[in-house]
Structure 1
């Protein structure tokens, strides 16, 4: 018995571990991994970190993502990881003068834009148009028109197809459905170029849709707010063209139209709504409402006209009047509120993972470090994003960049998210002196809409394969092959 135990122990101790392999073998294995897998390996232990820092690993990643830079790659003998990450960061910040771009003219002013995989989605009054990006880049304005709404579209959202009753097989596992709300009192769900569901229940125009789905995996719902001052919860798994039995709850308590909604980050069943009078309510979608008010689990209010709102973890960030602040959703206490020293705010976005917020004012936007702003009335911004004409009405923030635009400004500003330094200066449309009516960005891509009194236009740009790095001077000429920056800005992975 003792001999058997010793034998088993010896076999266990002699088992080969991953770290027993030589580095060359592990580097070869890493050649089959994705960038996300490699990033995870790098933080697992010091030994595997050495493996994934190998130039051969990053040479393969470089060739796969940017095969057109093969001459540059061959010239490099070391430092390919740093070169890859520097280029990735520079592309995300649009630091190039030669993106793939395409313009298309449209008949009316665009009020909202979305980017979805290979599609640009825009709304114009009651109409939705979906353009194929591949066709746009080929110079063909191929689009699908969705025209079932009878009044202006107020909100557009993309939700996973797999959460709906339309999902049938794994070939569509990554597809999204488009959900739109309208002043015609309806909400519509679109897929494959046609309306698949129509949800009705609001007693007036539907003003806003939730930014995400809420609830557990077995009962995902989305929320809507309306001019009837109600919040309504809808199931995406309902069947029937008219969305029968889709309405799961109607939540009462607001006295004015709903203007913003955001799903919380710390509990999947909580959603926050804000009405036109700056009253804020927190609702629990998992509570069955019997007395029409039991789902409300928190209330507060903020001073000034509401400008924007977004949840992150257990904090709710709000811009209203001329100030920004945060509310702790666990206690409903104000965590901080500070004046922006701007007479009026026109737009707001936040990147809580980096403790950064941005507010759009008249002629400029301001970048804020949330950690440095307590109850101070005169907090100092990190940077002023200056040079705009008129109010900055459109803002986009991601870990690499901030994009600012306005309805009276023919140009779009691109700024580094961590410093506020300007990285590019672009036209918003091919129409002379047109302001920006809508904007959307996703990674290396951006689409903007301009308009004048007669017609509108879309301008799509994709920086993924750009090679000529440039400056803010529109007449600068880039080098034949991209040369990595040594500034070292940007994150170290795209995972």
Structure 2
């Protein structure tokens, strides 16, 4: 009689069989295996797994891959980290001349979104890399565009079938008092309700699976909540609530991480309010569940979990949204701040000042009142108005800089610098980065230029001291593991 209690566990399988099974997994799956148990952690060090990942991501390095008999995991991670930090001089690149100054950029999947005044241009990245500079123009707005956001198509009334499950819609706000939703190269919805220019859109959607909304802020000092499920070109019944309480125009908005219904707004007078979108706003003030204020002119604001990080004047700080009490606030001793970004996973913040940016370790400065920067990102001309941070790199630039600078996120060491346009007289007026890719726009009062670079298949390592160094076949180091995600 068979023993129905006996079972075969994963750990009962031999290593060769498990390695073969792992060949069907993604990079993220493999890293999940590594943290699940010691047995599977040993499995993911197998060279055959990393040989397959190497070939799939960088088939042009086949001669190098075949020549290696061991250490492929370390080689893969070292190359991945170096590419993320743009440590190469031969990315795929493409320049597009523009007639006007760009004000904002979005980089997502296979699309690049560029705003110039009231105009939006959408470029296909695949077409750019094939040498085709064609684009789709969206010109329904009648005044300057103030904010661009990408939200999931599946959260809107436009979603029809699973073929578009991963698509996004573009949502834009404008000084023409309107908000527009775009998909497939045309305006699908127009939202109106603000009594003046719309200044900012929420960085994420609010709510749960029962109904998602996005928020907008305006010069009329109101915060408004809009449903993406509304139908009709004019978005009938889209306005769900109007939230009153601010006395000055709204300049920043951020959705909290610990509760999906909470959004934080900050006005031009540095007053901060927390709103709960799930509460009825019938008495005009009931949705406000927290208030505070900070000194100085607002520079930037971001939420993470239950903490709200704010840069204003020459200071950075945090507020605990559960109590609305300061978690810390410290002067940067940097004079006026022009930009701010934060990377919560590494407890790092970056501020852009005059002629330099500074990198801060939040844990070391919390509550001290006196801040010492972890690193000074020097060598800029004029104000540093553009900042990007991710686990690998920091990118900094400004309107008087002809280049953007790339810095290692963990050390603050400079890894590269990239020109904003084919001619060195153009300053940086917009920037966006995403993994191995970066796009910048430059302008010099006469002409503009957009430059797109993709480092994914770069092979020629670079140095700040020499134009080109290293072999045409990339030579890896074994400096240790980095943060890797499948992209």
TM-score by length of structure 2 reads 0.98
User: 1 CA distance for matches of 2:12 and 2:481?
Assistant: 36
Match of 2:50 in 1: 58
- Which of the numbers 141, 144, 165 marks the counterpart of 2:157? 165
Residue 19, structure 1, aligned to residue 4, structure 2: no
SS of structure 1 residue aligned to 2:211 = coil
SS of structure 2 residue aligned to 1:453 = coil
SS of structure 2 residue aligned to 1:466 = coil
Whether the 8 Å contact between 1:431 and 1:452 is mirrored in structure 2 is no
User: 1 CA distance for matches of 2:445 and 2:429?
Assistant: 12
Per-residue CA distance 1:40-87 (angstroms, 9 max, x = gap): 111111111111210001100100000000011011111111111111
Task: Single out whichever of 408-417 and 428-437 deviates more from structure 2.
Answer: 428-437
User: 1 CA distance for matches of 2:486 and 2:81?
Assistant: 9
User: 2 CA distance for matches of 1:489 and 1:60?
Assistant: 18
Residue 210, structure 1, aligned to residue 196, structure 2: no
Match of 2:271 in 1: 279
Match of 2:241 in 1: 249
- Which of the numbers 35, 44, 60 marks the counterpart of 1:43? 35
Matches within 5 A, 1:291-310: 291-310=283-302
Whether the 8 Å contact between 1:208 and 1:261 is mirrored in structure 2 is yes
- Which of the numbers 106, 122, 126 marks the counterpart of 2:118? 126
User: 2 CA distance for matches of 1:424 and 1:365?
Assistant: 15
CA-based RMSD of the aligned residues comes to 1.1
1:375 CA drift (Å): 3.0
Per-residue CA distance 1:144-173 (angstroms, 9 max, x = gap): 000000000000000000000000001100
Per-residue CA distance 1:104-157 (angstroms, 9 max, x = gap): 001100000001211111000000000111121222211000000000000000
Task: Single out whichever of 478-487 and 377-386 deviates more from structure 2.
Answer: 478-487
Number of residue equivalences: 487
1:492 CA drift (Å): 4.5
User: 1 CA distance for matches of 2:330 and 2:9?
Assistant: 54
- Which of the numbers 334, 338, 341 marks the counterpart of 2:333? 341
Matches within 5 A, 1:469-480: 469-473=461-465, 475-480=467-472
User: 1 CA distance for matches of 2:366 and 2:308?
Assistant: 15
User: 1 CA distance for matches of 2:429 and 2:129?
Assistant: 22
1:494 CA drift (Å): 4.1
1:475 CA drift (Å): 2.0
Match of 1:316 in 2: 308
- Which of the numbers 70, 94, 113 marks the counterpart of 2:86? 94
Matches within 5 A, 1:219-238: 219-238=211-230
User: 2 CA distance for matches of 1:15 and 1:135?
Assistant: 53
Matches within 5 A, 1:142-181: 142-181=134-173
5+ residue gaps, structure 1 = 1-6
SS of structure 2 residue aligned to 1:199 = strand
Match of 2:254 in 1: 262
Match of 2:482 in 1: 490
- Which of the numbers 406, 419, 430 marks the counterpart of 1:427? 419
Whether the 8 Å contact between 2:118 and 2:144 is mirrored in structure 1 is yes
Whether the 8 Å contact between 1:119 and 1:130 is mirrored in structure 2 is yes
Task: Single out whichever of 370-379 and 481-490 deviates more from structure 2.
Answer: 481-490
Residue 385, structure 1, aligned to residue 377, structure 2: yes
Match of 1:3 in 2: none
SS of structure 2 residue aligned to 1:48 = helix
